[in-house]
Amino acid sequence: MRFIIALGIALALGVPSGLTFAQARPAAIKKTAAQTPPAAPAAEEADEATREFDKFRAEMEDSNPAELFEMKGEELWKEKRGPKKISLAESCDLGQGVGVVKGAYAATPRWFADAGAVMDLERRVVWCMVEKQGFSFADIAKQPFANENFTPDITSLVTYVAANSKDMKFAVPLDEPHVRDAYETGKEITMYRAGPYDFSCNTCHGADGRRIRMQTLPNISTGKGALKGVQGWPGYRMTGGVMLTLQWRMNDCFRQQRFPEPKYASELVTDLLTYMTGNANGQLYKGPGIKR
Amino acid sequence: MNIRIIPLALSVAALAVAFPAGADPEHRAKALEIIQRDFQTRGQAGLDRLTEDGVQAICNRTGNQPPAYIAAQMNTDQMATVKFPADGVLMGNWKEGEKIAQSGRGFTWTDKPGLPVGGNCYNCHQISPKEMAFGTVGPSLYQFGKLRGNTPEMQRYVFGRIFNAKAFNLCSEMPRFGYIGALNEQQIKDLVALLLDPESPVNK
């Protein structure tokens, strides 16, 4: 297929080598410092790798491997499945009416009265699979994220639904009291420092212009930063060649924070996503993307 | 994890006096409840990691800006945790220090449990000019020794700061590498050398 060839080429060109870093060396370092240590280069200035990847990502937009998972997800959405032999298309309400996928991703997390909970999109689809189709939550939660040999159905389903919010604005209903509660709780969770390294979400994502090594870290408390946090998810990740969702992104953040693992599709993750997506409100979602 | 009793006892008393209410006590309480409920142990990352120690508790409840009188007392307590080398030698081998500074491994649920772990230094700091892939969460340490000298006092300061950054700035973003047992005495000595040895590329 065309995109696989494109991918191969892209991988070969790939993420810039150390040579590029050397070329990006700021002039400040070459000078002899007088009294103050030389300032580290601004994130934007030095982040050659990110710029090149963004360029490549733009070129790949027309042949994004995520499309494969969208197609698979559409089949899964419409197929009668599970012990109850019913399709999600005829049973699952993502907040826009039963079976309606248009705009659902950009308008979640939201309050679902039938479940008595605020849910992000992935959590809601899992809820439908369990409550409407009769799947076991434990089975879904056993391996909820893709690896090189396996992509869970839930990942394809979320990718399909997300694709149906492409070019729509994020519109998490923050005026709804339950959603507002989840937002405020999520905000508190981002401030919680613990673990061996005393890290919170905000250690990396609470201020502008921060980098870990060459990786820029969005400040999720701002509109611009929060958008960077949610844009491109679900995303096809070049590293490993796997399709991953925001639930996975939150999971891997906690791993790097040296925390224990967040339970899959839990209120904890929904609250964080309510905070982050809510902060991105009013800005355009570009649909499933490509990640490094 | 080790000795965390003294700061915790102090912090509980201090909290009662200084912070009868947080900025948003209702949602904070909800967040704590959810944090205790919605994590699971994986690999070496157990649920004990969710429990705040005294420093974390104070910083969490004050937006990392504790009142000066509490910070001063707790800085002193944290300073008392710093174990300076018995032999009085504070500078090790900068080449070993560079290796420790490069590694960011350790303590995640995908890392093998146990020591040694990396110092994670380049994740957040510019250090040697040869390494361009450095983070910006912490200040640049390039030419650290060249600008400050390497007097015994400076060596002691750097050793202490790596051992327990919270002894200097209570809510510093920097982990307490010696205090939590992540880096041993020799490793910290090597990092002191990386920053202060005139032969280290940091000071060229």
Q: What is the pLDDT of residues A134-158, one digit of tens each?
A: 999 999 999 999 999 999 999 999 9
Confidence of residue B5 (pLDDT cuts 50, 70, 90): very low
Which residue, of B76, B109, B134, is where some domain finishes?
B76
Is residue B89 a part of any domain in this protein?
no
Tell me the H-state helices in chain B: 5-18, 25-37, 54-61, 68-79, 94-102, 121-124, 144-148, 152-163, 185-196
Domain count for chain B: 2
Do residues B13 and B43 share a domain? Answer: yes
Q: Which two tokens stand for residue A117?
A: 């909970």
Name the residue in chain B with its Cα closest to that of A22: B132
State the count of interchain CB pairs (< 8 A) between A and B.
Answer: 160
Q: Average pLDDT, stretch B4-9?
A: 48
For chain A, what's the residue count? Answer: 292
As a whole number of angstroms, the distance between CA B181 and CA A235 comes to 37
| Mutation site, A21, A47, A119, A188, interface B, largest B CB count within 10 A | A188
Do residues B39 and B102 share a domain? Answer: no
Question: Does A128 participate in catalysis according to the annotation?
Answer: no
Percent of chain B's residues with pLDDT above 70: 89
Q: For position B156, which CATH number holds? A: 1.10.760.10
Specify the 3-state DSSP secondary structure of A82: coil
Q: B62 pairs with which residues across the strands?
A: none
* Residue A100 distance to chain B (closest CA, Å): 30
Do residues B133 and B43 share a domain? Answer: no
- From chain A, pick out residues whose CB is under 8 angstroms from the CB of B168: none
Q: Average pLDDT, stretch B86-92?
A: 97
When mean pLDDT is compared over A55-59, A214-218, B8-12, the highest value belongs to: A214-218
* Residue A74 distance to chain B (closest CA, Å): 31
Cβ separation A261–B34 shorter than 8 A: no
Contacts of A162 (CB under 8 A, 6+ apart): A105, A121, A233, A234, A285, A287, A288
Other beta carbons within 10 Å of A82: 18
Asked if A22 is an interface residue toward chain B (Cβ–Cβ < 8 A), one would say yes
Residues of the domain holding B133: 94-203
Is residue B86 a part of any domain in this protein?
no
pLDDT digits (tens, 9 = 90+) for A204-247: 999 999 999 999 999 999 999 999 999 999 999 988 899 999 99
- From chain A, pick out residues whose CB is under 8 angstroms from the CB of B59: 193, 198
As a whole number of angstroms, the distance between CA A247 and CA A121 comes to 10
Is residue B113 a part of any domain in this protein?
yes
Cβ separation A271–B31 shorter than 8 A: yes
Does B23 have pLDDT greater than 90? no
* Residue A167 distance to chain B (closest CA, Å): 33
Report ipTM (2 d.p.): 0.90
**Selected residues 219-258 of chain A with any CB under 8 Å from a CB in chain B:** 254-256, 258
Specify the 3-state DSSP secondary structure of A243: strand
Is residue B125 within 8 Å of residue B138, measured between CB atoms? yes
Do residues B119 and B152 share a domain? Answer: yes
- From chain B, pick out residues whose CB is under 8 angstroms from the CB of A184: 24, 27
Region for A15 from its dihedrals, namely left if φ exceeds 0, alpha if ψ lies in -120 to 50, beta otherwise: beta
As a whole number of angstroms, the distance between CA A148 and CA A238 comes to 11
Do residues B47 and B115 share a domain? Answer: no
Do residues B155 and B198 share a domain? Answer: yes
Which residue, of B15, B42, B76, is where some domain finishes?
B76
- From chain A, pick out residues whose CB is under 8 angstroms from the CB of B40: 260-263
Is residue B84 a part of any domain in this protein?
no
Do residues B125 and B33 share a domain? Answer: no
As a whole number of angstroms, the distance between CA B203 and CA B194 comes to 9
Does B186 have pLDDT greater than 70? yes
pLDDT digits (tens, 9 = 90+) for B30-50: 999 999 999 999 999 999 999
Cβ separation B38–A255 shorter than 8 A: no
Is residue B126 a part of any domain in this protein?
yes
Instruction: Please say whether the dihedral angle defined by the alpha carbons of residues B165, B169, B175 and B179, taken in this order, is positive or negative.
Output: positive
**pLDDT: is A53 or A207 the higher one?**
A207
Contacts of B88 (CB under 8 A, 6+ apart): none
Question: What one-character DSSP code corresponds to residue A247?
Answer: H
Is residue B81 a part of any domain in this protein?
no
**pLDDT: is A278 or A19 the higher one?**
A278
Confidence of residue B24 (pLDDT cuts 50, 70, 90): confident
Do residues B182 and B129 share a domain? Answer: yes
Do residues B65 and B30 share a domain? Answer: yes
Cβ separation A209–B126 shorter than 8 A: no
Do residues B180 and B103 share a domain? Answer: yes
Do residues B69 and B99 share a domain? Answer: no
Nearest to B27 among A33, A188, A217 (CB): A188
| Mutation site, B3, B125, B140, interface A, largest A CB count within 10 A | B140
Does A33 have pLDDT greater than 50? no
Do residues B57 and B119 share a domain? Answer: no
Is residue B65 a part of any domain in this protein?
yes
- Domains of chain A as residue ranges with CATH: 1-63 (no CATH), 64-291 (1.10.760.10)
Cis peptide before A109, with omega less than 30 degrees from 0?
yes
Cβ separation B107–A259 shorter than 8 A: no
Which residue, of B25, B47, B76, is where some domain finishes?
B76
In the prediction, which pLDDT does B153 show?
97
pLDDT digits (tens, 9 = 90+) for A231-240: 999 999 988 8
Is residue B82 a part of any domain in this protein?
no
Percent of chain A's residues with pLDDT above 70: 82
In the prediction, which pLDDT does A64 show?
85
Name the residue in chain B with its Cα closest to that of A188: B28
* Residue A183 distance to chain B (closest CA, Å): 9
Does A60 have pLDDT greater than 60? yes
- Lowest mean pLDDT segment, chosen from A37-51, B55-69, B171-185: A37-51
Region for A281 from its dihedrals, namely left if φ exceeds 0, alpha if ψ lies in -120 to 50, beta otherwise: beta
